Amino acid sequence: MSSACPICGKPAQAEARPFCSKRCADVDLQRWLSDRYVVPGGQDDEENPPSTDFDN
């Protein structure tokens, strides 16, 4: 059973899996790089940002 490409829906190809082609893989990468896709963070991320004090 082959899976469908998450970008265009065509059958995935082994050399570009889970995509059908390098083009669809590049489209996906561009979406991540342009912040179209976002992994949500917890509320702690906003309330307690990481320290930027590097003088230890």
Q: Looking up tokens 């309330």, which residue turns up?
A: 47
Task: Flag whether 20 is marked binding.
Answer: yes
- The span from the CA of 51 to the CA of 26, in Å, is 34
CA angle 33, 39, 40 (to 5 degrees): 135
Q: Is 5 annotated as a binding residue?
A: yes
Give binding residues as ranges. 5, 8, 20, 24
Give binding residues for Zn(2+) as ranges. 5, 8, 20, 24
